[in-house]
Amino acid sequence: GAVVSQHPSRVICKSGTSVKIECRSLDFQATTMFWYRQFPKQSLMLMATSNEGSKATYEQGVEKDKFLINHASLTLSTLTVTSAHPEDSSFYICSAKGQGATEAFFGQGTRLTVV
Amino acid sequence: AQSVTQPDIHITVSEGASLELRCNYSYGATPYLFWYVQSPGQGLQLLLKYFSGDTLVQGIKGFEAEFKRSQSSFNLRKPSVHWSDAAEYFCAVGAAGTASKLTFGTGTRLQVTL
């Protein structure tokens, strides 16, 4: 299967700072990327969908000004958590899908801890 | 709206025993169905998927799942569980045709006793 790499795998930041998470498709062109959030012992919840070169589409209840998503190239999407607070601590996972593909491939996830 | 229900939050089986994890979905059209496994602190690994055709789907690691439209179910099975199968299992449904954004169930945590 295709490979999606997410970086960093773990990050600790201070409250009020911003954190950027990268999601890269290593061996295919990802026309669409998805960002999910997973709180401890809960399921994955879709935050937003991004198409290359377009603005991301956010799910209801997700603050677009707080979770900035950029999908500037066919191999890279970034999620920036701005002015992070402890309640933003979570596991963030991206997935990427190529044009016409029938499934998306997941990255390894990023564990964000805001202290 | 699509939804997925995994009725069992936690299941414990003995190594070598058979396993069945339940998944029920709600979707207005033909769904794309997936089973993923997640080890602690890790991302998701696709076990198997159903798009169309044969309703019994074979996946990796000896897992299989059967799509039953009449019951809106897509249960995951394995005839003989190994200790390394202990993990969290997620069932997910996506829109047919594009396999775009997925809706996940709440997951079933599998514990394997030796």
Q: Give the nearest chain B residue to A34 (CA atoms).
A: B101
CA distances to A46, A47, A82 from A64, rounded to whole Å, are 13, 9, 10
Q: Tell me the average pLDDT of chain B.
A: 91
Chain A contacts in chain B segment 15-44 (CB below 8 A): 32, 34, 36, 41-44
Q: What is the pLDDT, as a whole number, of residue B97?
A: 57
Residue A35: its pLDDT value, please?
A: 96
Chain A residues with CB under 8 Å of B111 CB are: none
Kindly state whether B60 is in contact with chain A, defined as any CB-CB distance less than 8 angstroms.
no
* DSSP symbol at B30: P
pLDDT at A16 over 70: yes
Which ranges in B9-90 belong to alpha helices (H)? none
> Torsion-angle region of residue B107: left (phi > 0), alpha (psi -120 to 50) or beta?
left
Other CB atoms within 10 Å distance of the CB of residue B41: 11
Tell me, yes or no, if A98 comes closer than 8 A to chain B by beta carbon: no
pLDDT of residue A62: 95
* pLDDT tens sequence across B98-107: 556 789 999 9
Written as six digits, the tokens of B81 are: 């569980």
